[in-house]
């Protein structure tokens, strides 16, 4: 009679008792695997410090105060008093302007707001009801609160000059772009429409292209008469077609279902989305060359995408970032893409705007540079 096989333990261990030794062996094997994978260790221990440090520096670092123009037209003494209080505010930086030049300065971006103290401002204060004009640029709602706060605090100086009367503060707020009917989604939607496309296309491309390598498809193509550049361009066009379909879906959903307000041409929005999608495709192809597994490919997300989200002006205005981070923001493609999307959807920009031309040219240049980098890297790794 044959004896029973003894090579494998019964499922669940002897008598169903969990073996601490076997559990420890599995734990030890897993930890040893992490120890040998330096890229994963960097993601686990370095990336959180970098991201949180960057976020802390953005929120607590020395930031540039928004620049606000002051047009004091008051013939009495109280306008000069309020203007002096505004100049001393810690919430804003100020410059004296003519009211007639205010809108032009809002349009060219040199001011985020300007305040007009009317010619009868002192008389208004004596009557107990002041109504200064506040003109807000409007495309970056995060800078509106400091302007209104500084103005309200400056009005406190009138109390020592106007006695025996309560002063009612009723500013007349006007928006150059946007307006009170714009909600948070309207302001941030312009940036997030492009961000969703950029993020998802990047993830899909880097993982899919890595699968092509790991399954041997790419090596077989390399052995064919195809040139390296033709292979990269072929993959790029294939992923781009999928990305453009996704971009159209996101745009239609945002405008038709979410009702995000739009002042620009829909085709221009789609064109900027297309540039962001092409940039994400080429970035994914390029970075996939440096990953050996899907897990390593996904590790690029917090290192590549998250810093761009924090620094590109989606959450924090670039003008309010510390100077060192502003220089870094200026070399990120997502910064220009976000600027372009907001110019189109919030400001109603068209192709005659030099700022939109610059944004589109930078993103397009980034795409071309990545096509060249991807081709060169592919040739070096597989050639």
126-139 per-position pLDDT tens digit: 887 888 999 999 88
Centroid of chain to Cα 220: 39
Domain finish residue from 123, 153, 175? 175
Q: How many domains does the chain fold into?
A: 2
pTM of the model: 0.79
Confidence at residue 133, expressed as pLDDT on a 0 to 100 scale: 92
Residues 193 and 338 in one domain: yes
Residues 251 and 158 in one domain: no
Residues 267 and 358 in one domain: yes
Residues 246 and 378 in one domain: yes
Domain finish residue from 175, 192, 222? 175
243 contact partners, CB below 8 Å, separation of at least 6: 197, 201, 205, 274, 277, 278, 280, 281
As a 3-state breakdown, the chain gives helix, strand, coil percent values, each rounded to 5, of: 65, 5, 30
Determine, yes or no, domain membership for 285.
yes
Structural domain including 324 reads 184-382
Domain finish residue from 175, 205, 235? 175
CA atoms within 13 Å, Cβ hemisphere of 63: 20
Asked if 153 contacts 84 with a C-beta cutoff of 8 angstroms, the reply is no
Determine, yes or no, domain membership for 25.
no
Q: Which of 210-224, 249-263, 304-318 reaches the highest mean pLDDT? A: 249-263
Determine, yes or no, domain membership for 243.
yes
Q: What is the 3-state secondary structure (H, E, C) of 302-316?
A: HHHHHHHHHHCCCCC
Asked if 194 contacts 338 with a C-beta cutoff of 8 angstroms, the reply is yes
- Burial bucket for residue 274 (CB in 10 Å: 0-12, 13-18, 19+): middle
Residues 316 and 286 in one domain: yes
Residues 333 and 315 in one domain: yes
- The better pLDDT of the pair 180, 307 is held by 307
Confidence at residue 358, expressed as pLDDT on a 0 to 100 scale: 95
Determine, yes or no, domain membership for 55.
no
CATH at residue 123: 3.40.1710.10
Confidence at residue 86, expressed as pLDDT on a 0 to 100 scale: 92
Confidence at residue 75, expressed as pLDDT on a 0 to 100 scale: 83
Residues 166 and 270 in one domain: no
Residues 251 and 156 in one domain: no
Residues 167 and 190 in one domain: no
């Amino acid at each position: 009679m044959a004896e029973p096989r003894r090579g494998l333990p019964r499922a669940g261990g002897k008598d169903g008792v969990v073996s601490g030794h076997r559990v420890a062996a599995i734990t030890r094997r897993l930890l040893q695997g992490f120890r040998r994978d330096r890229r994963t260790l960097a993601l686990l221990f370095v990336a959180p410090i970098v991201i949180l440090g960057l976020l802390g520096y953005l929120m607590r670092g020395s930031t540039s105060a928004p620049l606000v123009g002051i047009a004091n037209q008051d013939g009495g003494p109280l306008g000069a008093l309020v203007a002096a209080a505004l100049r001393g505010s810690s919430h804003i930086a100020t410059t004296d302007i003519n009211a007639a030049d205010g809108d032009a300065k809002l349009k060219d971006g040199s001011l985020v707001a300007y305040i007009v103290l009317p010619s009868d401002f002192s008389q208004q204060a004596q009557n107990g009801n002041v109504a200064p004009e506040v003109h807000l640029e409007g495309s970056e709602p995060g800078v509106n609160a400091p302007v209104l706060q500084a103005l309200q605090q400056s009005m406190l100086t009138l109390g020592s000059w106007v006695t025996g009367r309560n002063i009612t503060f009723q500013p007349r707020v006007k928006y150059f772009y946007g307006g009170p009917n714009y909600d948070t989604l309207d302001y941030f939607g312009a940036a997030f429409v492009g961000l969703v496309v950029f993020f998802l296309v990047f993830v899909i491309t880097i993982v899919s292209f890595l699968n092509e390598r790991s399954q041997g498809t790419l090596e077989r193509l390399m052995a064919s008469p195809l040139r390296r550049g033709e292979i990269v361009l072929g993959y790029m066009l294939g992923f781009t077609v999928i990305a453009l379909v996704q971009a159209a879906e996101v745009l239609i959903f945002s405008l038709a279902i979410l009702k995000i307000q739009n002042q620009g041409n829909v085709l221009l929005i789609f064109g900027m989305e297309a540039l962001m999608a092409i940039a994400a495709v080429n970035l994914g192809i390029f970075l996939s060359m440096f990953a050996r597994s899907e897990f390593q490919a996904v590790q690029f997300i917090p290192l590549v995408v998250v810093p761009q989200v924090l620094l590109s002006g989606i959450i924090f205005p670039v003008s309010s970032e510390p100077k060192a981070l502003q220089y870094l923001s200026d070399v990120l493609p997502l910064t220009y893409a976000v600027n372009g999307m907001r110019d189109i959807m919030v400001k109603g920009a068209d192709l005659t705007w030099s700022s939109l031309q610059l944004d589109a040219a930078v993103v397009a240049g980034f795409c071309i540079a990545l096509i060249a980098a991807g081709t060169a890297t592919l040739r070096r790794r597989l050639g």
